[in-house]
């Protein structure tokens, strides 16, 4: 499995297909986050925009390999494990991106509540932001895995489905990502740092289930 993860990581990094999502994420942060804004609000934004970016990264990882090359790797390592490796590398890339963003946002934001009335401890705020980022990276991974090969094979349907699913995952009540982001925003109003552990647990479960299904599907559907 380690060899597969390394192979997929190298494939992603060397292909440079990670650049567009990175640029889009950086642009979204530049639009929504400015120095001196309340920290929890900014962290909420950083987490929320990470979700579609994570889905995009997973899509890049899952579809990045030419089918014949994937066949060689599948024969050697097993098709399900080969697919799992590509999904995990996408998740890892999204988490790294979100983690870095959280650190930057925490450093440049004001450690205060929305009304600038209450002080919000930076370290706790950063930890809470990391949890929210993780929730959004996981859910974005689920969205990305569910809207690419082997579930949806034609890009014409997969890309709109990805965008729609990412939007739904952010705004639908009951979605762990919605819960985690909302907790940050309402926490910013009241000046309390939320601990989105329940959304995190839910996101882990959802993403694990979706990933397991897509891995099981890889060998059943042909490229």
Partner 1 sequence: MQRELRLDNVGRRHSLRGPWVLRGVDLAVAPGTLVRVEGANGTGKSTLLRLIAGIDAPTEGRVTGRPRTAYVPERFPSALPFTALAYLIRLGTVHGLSRRQAAGAAGQWLERLGAAGYARTPMARLSKGSSQKVAVAQALLGEPELLVLDEAWTGLDAGARAELERAVAERTAAGGAVVFVDHDPGRLAGAPDATYTVRDGTLHRRERPATAPAGPRVTVRVQGPPGGRLPADAHRIAALAEETAPGTHLLTVPASHSDVLLRTLLTARPPWHVVSVATEEPHGPEDRR
For partner 1 (CB under 8 A), the number of binding residues is: 27
Applying CB under 8 A, does 3 fall inside the site for partner 1?
yes
Choose between 86 and 102: whose C-beta lies nearer to partner 1. Answer: 86
One DSSP character per residue, the chain reads -HHHHHHHHHHHHHHTTTHHHHHHHHHHHHHH--TTSBHHHHHHHHHHHHHHHHHHHHHHHHH-S-HHHHHHHHHHH-HHHHHHHHHHHHHHHHHHHHHHHHHHHHHHSBSB-TTS-SB--HHHHHHHHHHHHHHHHHHHHHHHHHTSTTT---HHHHHHHHHHHHHHHHHSTT-HHHHHHHHHHHHHHHT-----HHHHHHHHHHHHHHHHHHHHHHTTS--
72 near partner 1, judged by CB under 8 A: yes
Binds partner 1 (CB under 8 A): choice among 37, 74, 141, 182:
74
Instruction: Decide if residue 157 touches partner 1 (CB under 8 A).
Output: no
Q: Of 32, 77, 111, 127, which one interacts with partner 1 (CB under 8 A)?
A: 77
CB 73 within 8 A of CB 82: yes
26 touches partner 1 by CB under 8 A: no
Of 16 and 173, nearer to partner 1 (C-beta) is: 16
Rule CB under 8 A: is residue 10 a binding residue for partner 1? yes
CB of 34 to partner 1, least distance (A): 36
CA distance 167 to 144: 12
Q: Which of residues 41-70 bind partner 1 (CB under 8 A)?
A: 65-69
Task: Establish if 19 lies at the interface with partner 1 (CB under 8 A).
Answer: no
Nearest approach in angstroms of CB 190 to partner 1 is: 49
219 binds partner 1 (CB under 8 A): yes
| Residue 78 interacting with partner 1 (CB under 8 A) | yes
Residues at the interface with partner 1 (CB under 8 A): 3-4, 6-7, 10-11, 14-16, 65-69, 71-79, 219-222
């Amino acid at each position: 499995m380690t060899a597969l993860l390394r192979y997929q990581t190298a494939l992603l990094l060397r292909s440079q297909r990670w650049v567009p999502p990175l640029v889009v994420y950086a642009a979204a942060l530049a639009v929504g986050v400015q120095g001196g804004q309340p920290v929890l609000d900014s962290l909420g934004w950083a987490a929320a925009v990470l979700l579609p970016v994570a889905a995009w990264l997973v899509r890049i990882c899952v579809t990045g390999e030419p089918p014949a090359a994937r066949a060689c790797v599948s024969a050697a390592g097993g098709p399900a494990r080969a697919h799992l490796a590509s999904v995990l590398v996408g998740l890892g890339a999204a988490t790294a991106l979100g983690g870095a963003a959280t650190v930057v946002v925490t450093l440049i934001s004001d450690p205060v509540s929305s009304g600038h009335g209450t002080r919000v401890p930076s370290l706790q705020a950063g930890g809470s932001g990391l949890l929210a980022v993780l929730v959004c990276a996981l859910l974005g991974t689920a969205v990305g895995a569910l809207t690419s090969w082997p579930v949806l094979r034609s890009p014409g349907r997969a890309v709109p489905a990805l965008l729609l699913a990412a939007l739904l995952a952010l705004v639908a009540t009951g979605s762990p990502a919605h819960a985690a982001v909302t907790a940050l925003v309402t926490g910013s109003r009241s000046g309390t740092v939320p601990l989105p552990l329940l959304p995190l647990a839910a996101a882990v479960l959802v993403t694990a289930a979706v990933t397991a299904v897509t891995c099981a599907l890889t060998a059943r559907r042909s490229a």
